[in-house]
C-alpha cells in the first residue's frame, strides 16, 4: 500500500446497509502484508445466484480458471479473496492452492467446492500457500457479520490508497432492494477488464442467467471504460450475486431478461459499477488528476471508443496532464495514431469548455493563459469532435506521474 | 534538449565520409531553440533519386503531405529540415508555410518546388513562420560542404540528448559505395513508424523504385521494431536518396530489384537503419536501460511481433526494468493481454541467460539474487518462448523512468 492517500479519494463514504442473506468476515493472515487484513470471506446463508465477468488475458490466474468452471452452475455459497499474492502463473501449485482453499471454504460453510468462488490479487508468479489462511476460514464463517462492507473493501486492497464501495437502493416490483459493491484496483488497469476485483451483492430475487446479462451490459459503460496504464491483469474478476432475500418482503422473482421490473434495477446496477470504476481511476497509481476523454462525431460508437482509449492511454497525453500543460497537439497525435477514420482538417478539441482547436488548426481565440489555468483543476475533461459521424464514447483515466514510476519500480521488492 | 546526455549514448562516433553529389549546411534560425542550430539543408548537386516512408498517422503534418506529393516523381534537389516546430495540425497556415519554404529552397538551389523535400519536428499545433529561416537558405546553399554529417544530425535534434549518425561502405558491382544516415527522435516513438526523422544518402546509382523497395524492406527490421512510449508522431519521415555519383568511378546503374549486385548494399542499408533505430531507443526520453524483447515459438512472425510489442510497450514491464526488479510476472501479464495465441502452461521466460519461468510457473532453479544482479545491467534482454509454433520477432525499447515523466510534463512550456 502507498504511504499517502490519493488526493482524488472520496471526501466521504456512503453508509453501506446490510444485505439480507450475506455475511462478511476479514482476517489478517500475513500472506504478504503485515498489520492489515488480507483475507475476505463472503458467506451466503443459502444458495445465491451468481454471475461473473473475467479477464480476457490468455494467461489467466488459477482462481479465474476456478471461477469460470464453477460459474456454469450459477450457484454460490461463499467467496474467498486474498490480497498480496495473485496465484497467477503458478502452474500445478496454483491449481492445488485453489483446490485447498475451496475445500477449506466448503467445509467452513457446509457446501460443495462447486459453490465456492475465489479471487487473488497481488504479485504474479509466486506460489500461494493456501495453508497461510485456509485454517482461518472456519472461524471467519462463524464470526461473519452483515455490516462489514467497508472492512471487506479494505481487505482486498493492494496498492490501492483507499477502499472502494458503492451502494444503491431501488424499488423492485414495489419492494426496496439494495445493491452493494466493493472493488480494488490501482495499477494494471485497462478495459476488458479494468484490472481489478469487484464483488457486488443484491437481495433482489433475480435468476443467474438474468444477472449475467445485466452484468455483461453494465460492465460496458463502467469498468470497460476506464484505463490507468493500458495493462490488463491476469486476475480481473467482477462478480454479481443475488441472495434473493427481498422475496421475503414481497419482491418478485424475476427469471426473464425482458421483465420490465428490471429497468430501475439495471440502472442502479450501472450506477454502482460506474461509481466503483471511477473510484478505481481516481486511485490510479500515482494519480493526481482524473481525466475524462469524450469523443464525438466518430464514424461509430466503437470507433469513438477506440479513439478515446488511444487518447486516454497515450503516455504523452497523460504526462502533459500531470505537468498541467494544455498540450492539445498530443491529443491530435493520439487521434492520428488510433487508426480509426479521422480527417485532420475537421477535428475540434476542447479542454473543459475551452475550444483549443477547430477545423484542423489552433482555435483563433486560443488563450494559453486561460487553458493553462484550466489545467490546474483536479478533474480534466478532454473532448474531441471527429466531425465525420454520430459515434460517441467516454472513457476515464488519470495522469501519469513520477509516483506511478516510483510505485511500479519497486512494487515487488 | 535535456540538460544531460543519456547514459546509453554511443561511446564514440564513426567518421562520416563525404558522399559525392550531396552537400550540407546548418544554421541557427532561432525558431524555438536559442544558441544551437535548428535548420538543415541538404543540397544535391544534380537530381538525386528519392524514396520515402512516412507516418501512418491519420493526422499527418503539412511537410509529410508535401513530401508524399513530391515523392511520386522520385527526384530530389534539396531537403530542408527544421527543429523546434512540427508544422503539424496547422491547417492552411501549415500549407502556406511548406509552400514558402519550398519556394525559397528551389530558388536557392535552382530547381522546381517538386524537387524539394521538407520535414519539421517539434511542437504540434503552433503555426510555423517560414520567414524565420527561408531567407537563410540561399546563403546556406552557397556555403554547403560535404563533410558535415554530424552537424546535420545535431541540427535536427529536439529532446534528443545526442546526435545519431551511421555509415557503411560496401562494394557495389566491385566499386566502393557509401551509405550515410542521420536520425532524430526521443519521444513519441512507436513502430509504423518510430516517431522520428531520418535521412539516408548513398552514392550508389540505384533507381528510385528500387530504392523505395529496399527502404520498405529495411524499415521492417529497424525503425518498425523499436518503441519508446507507443505514441506515433504526426511527422515520421524516413527518406533515402541516391546521388548516383559512384557511377563516375565505375559503379553499375541498377534499375531492377532482382539485380544480384544489390545484395550487399541491401544488407548494409539494413545495418545503417538498424544502428540509427537502436540509437533512437538508447536516447528514449529518460532512458537509463535498453531492453531487447525477443519472442520465439509464436504461431507466426506477425503474432510474435505483436506479443513482443505488448511486452515492450507495457508501462508495468518498463517501470519494473527501471526499478531493476526482475518482475517476470508482468511479462506474463503482457503476453496475456496481447490477444495472440498463447498457452500459459507452455510459456518460458528468460532474463538474459537466466530462465525465470518454465512450463507455466516459476523455474524450479529460480534465484532471486542472480536475477536481481542481472537487472543491474544497462542492456536487458527478455526472451519469451510461447511454445506453440515457429514465429519469432525481436523489438527494442527502453525503461520508463521518472525522467520520462519530467521531460514530458513540461516539454512544451
What Rg, from alpha-carbon coordinates, does chain B have? Answer: 22
Q: Which residue of B has its CA nearest to A331?
A: B124
pLDDT-based confidence at residue B193 (cuts at 50, 70, 90) = very low
Residues A341/A298, Cβ–Cβ less than 8 Å: yes
The reply to whether B61 sits in an annotated binding site is no
CB contact under 8 A, B334 and A127: no
Distance from CA of A15 to the nearest CA of B (A): 35
Residue of B nearest to A193 (CA): B337
A402 neighbourhood in chain B, CB within 8 Å: 402, 405-406
Residue B113 annotated as lining a ligand binding site: no
Chain A nearest C-alpha distance from B284 (Å): 13
Q: Do A342 and B230 touch (CB under 8 A)?
A: no
Does A195 count as an annotated binding residue?
Answer: yes
Percent of chain B with pLDDT over 70: 95
Say whether A320 and B408 touch across the interface (CB within 8 A).
yes
Which of B361, B372, B384 would best serve as a mutation to test chain A binding (most A beta carbons within 10 A)?
B361
Put simply, the answer to whether B344 touches A60 (Cβ < 8 Å) is: yes
User: Tens of pLDDT along chain A (413 residues)?
Assistant: 445 888 888 888 999 999 999 999 999 999 998 999 999 999 999 999 999 999 888 888 999 999 999 999 999 999 999 999 999 888 889 999 999 999 999 999 999 999 999 999 988 888 999 999 999 999 999 999 999 999 999 999 988 899 999 999 999 999 999 999 999 986 555 444 445 899 999 999 999 999 999 999 999 888 888 877 666 678 889 999 999 999 999 999 999 999 999 999 999 999 999 999 999 888 888 889 999 999 999 999 999 999 999 999 888 899 889 999 888 888 988 898 888 998 888 999 999 999 999 988 889 999 989 999 999 999 999 999 999 999 999 999 999 888 878 877 765 54
Residues of B whose CB is below 8 A from A187: 316
Mutate to test the interface with A, among B408, B410, B411, B413 (most CBs of A within 10 A): B408
Residue B230 has what pLDDT?
63
> pLDDT tens-digit profile of B25-72?
999 999 998 999 999 999 999 999 999 999 888 888 999 999 999 999
Domains by residue range for chain B, with CATH: 22-282 (3.60.70.12), 290-409 (3.10.20.340)
A318 is in an annotated binding site: no
Query: Residues B188, B146: contact at Cβ < 8 Å?
Result: no
C-alpha span between B234 and B219 (Å, rounded): 18
- Closest residue in A to B345 (Cα) is A91
**In which band, very low, low, confident or very high, does the pLDDT at B191 lie, cut at 50, 70 and 90?**
very low
pLDDT higher at B193 or A332? A332
Q: Contact A89/B361, CB-based, under 8 Å?
A: yes
Kindly determine whether residue A231 and residue B333, on different chains, have CB atoms separated by under 8 Å.
yes
B90 assigned binding-site residue: no
**Whole-angstrom Cα distance, residue A157 to residue A188?**
14
Give the distance from residue B64's alpha carbon to the nearest chain A alpha carbon, in angstroms. 13
Average predicted confidence (pLDDT) for chain B: 91
Residues from chain B that touch A121, judged by Cβ atoms under 8 A, are none
Over 90: is that where the pLDDT of B187 sits? no
Mutate to test the interface with B, among A332, A336, A357, A362 (most CBs of B within 10 A): A336
Most A CBs within 10 Å, among B93, B341, B360, B405, to test the A interface: B405
DSSP letter at A356 equals: E
Each residue's pLDDT tens digit, A164-207:
999 999 999 999 999 999 999 865 554 444 458 999 999 999 99
Contact A329 B412 (CB under 8 A): yes
B402 → chain A, closest CA residue: A402
C-alpha span between B125 and B268 (Å, rounded): 37
Determine the distance in angstroms separating the CA of A301 from the nearest CA of chain B, rounded to an integer: 18
Of the two residues B200 and A5, the one the predictor is more confident about is B200
Residue of B nearest to A346 (CA): B91
Res B48: pLDDT: 98
pTM: 0.82
Residues of chain A contacting B323 with CB distance shorter than 8 Å: 408-411, 413
Contact B337 A413 (CB under 8 A): no
- Annotated ligand binding at A289? The verdict is no
Confidence of residue B119 (pLDDT cuts 50, 70, 90): very high
Mean pLDDT in residue range B183-201: 70
- Active-site residues of B, by number, are 195
pLDDT at A186: 66
CB pairs below 8 Å between A and B: how many?
233
Give the distance from residue B244's alpha carbon to the nearest chain A alpha carbon, in angstroms.
36
For residue B60, the chain A residues in CB contact (below 8 A) are: 336, 344
Residues of B in contact with A314 (CB under 8 A): 230-231
Q: Which residues of B touch A98 (CB under 8 A)?
A: none
Instruction: Give A-chain residues touching B315 at CB under 8 angstroms.
Output: 229-231, 315, 400, 404, 408
Q: Which residue of B has its CA nearest to A410?
A: B323
Q: Find the catalytic residue in A195, A237, A243, A401.
A: A195
Amino acid at each position: 500500500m502507498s504511504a499517502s492517500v490519493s488526493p482524488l479519494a472520496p471526501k466521504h463514504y456512503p453508509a453501506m446497509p446490510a444485505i439480507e442473506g450475506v455475511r462478511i468476515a476479514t482476517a489478517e493472515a500475513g500472506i504478504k502484508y503485515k498489520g492489515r487484513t488480507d483475507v475476505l470471506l463472503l458467506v451466503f446463508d443459502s444458495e445465491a445466484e451468481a454471475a461473473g465477468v473475467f479477464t480476457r488475458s490468455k494467461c489467466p490466474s488459477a482462481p479465474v480458471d476456478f471461477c469460470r468452471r464453477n460459474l456454469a452452475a450459477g450457484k454460490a455459497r461463499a467467496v474467498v479473496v486474498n490480497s498480496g499474492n495473485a496465484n497467477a502463473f503458478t502452474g500445478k501449485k496454483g491449481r492445488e492452492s485453489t483446490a485447498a482453499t475451496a475445500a477449506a471454504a466448503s467445509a467452513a460453510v457446509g457446501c460443495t467446492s462447486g459453490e465456492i468462488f475465489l479471487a487473488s490479487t497481488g504479485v504474479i508468479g509466486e506460489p500461494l500457500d493456501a495453508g497461510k489462511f485456509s485454517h482461518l476460514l472456519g472461524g471467519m464463517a462463524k464470526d461473519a457479520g452483515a455490516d462489514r462492507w467497508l472492512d471487506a473493501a479494505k481487505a482486498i486492497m493492494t496498492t490501492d490508497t483507499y477502499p472502494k464501495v458503492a451502494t444503491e437502493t431501488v424499488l423492485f416490483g414495489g419492494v426496496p432492494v439494495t445493491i452493494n459493491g466493493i472493488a480494488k484496483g490501482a495499477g494494471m488497469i485497462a478495459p476488458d477488464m479494468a484490472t481489478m476485483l469487484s464483488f457486488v451483492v443484491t437481495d433482489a430475487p433475480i435468476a443467474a442467467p438474468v444477472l449475467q446479462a445485466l452484468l455483461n451490459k453494465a460492465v460496458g459503460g463502467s469498468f470497460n471504460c476506464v484505463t490507468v496504464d493500458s495493462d490488463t491483469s491476469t486476475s480481473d474478476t467482477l462478480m454479481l450475486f443475488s441472495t434473493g432475500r427481498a422475496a421475503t418482503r414481497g419482491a418478485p422473482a424475476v427469471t426473464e431478461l425482458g421483465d420490465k421490473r428490471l429497468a430501475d434495477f439495471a440502472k442502479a446496477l450501472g450506477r454502482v459499477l460506474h461509481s466503483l470504476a471511477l473510484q478505481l481511476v481516481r486511485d490510479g497509481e500515482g494519480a493526481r488528476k482524473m481525466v475524462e476523454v469524450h469523443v464525438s462525431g466518430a464514424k461509430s460508437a466503437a470507433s469513438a471508443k477506440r479513439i478515446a482509449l488511444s487518447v486516454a492511454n497515450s503516455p504523452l497525453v497523460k504526462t502533459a496532464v500531470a505537468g498541467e500543460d494544455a498540450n492539445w497537439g498530443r491529443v491530435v497525435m493520439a487521434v492520428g495514431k488510433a487508426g480509426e477514420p479521422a480527417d485532420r482538417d475537421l477535428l475540434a478539441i476542447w479542454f473543459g469548455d475551452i475550444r483549443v482547436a477547430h477545423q484542423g488548426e489552433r482555435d483563433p481565440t486560443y488563450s494559453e493563459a486561460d487553458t493553462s489555468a484550466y489545467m490546474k483543476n483536479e478533474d480534466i475533461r478532454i473532448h474531441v469532435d471527429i466531425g465525420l459521424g454520430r459515434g460517441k464514447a467516454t472513457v476515464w483515466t488519470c495522469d501519469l506521474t513520477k509516483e506511478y514510476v516510483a510505485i511500479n519500480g519497486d512494487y515487488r521488492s
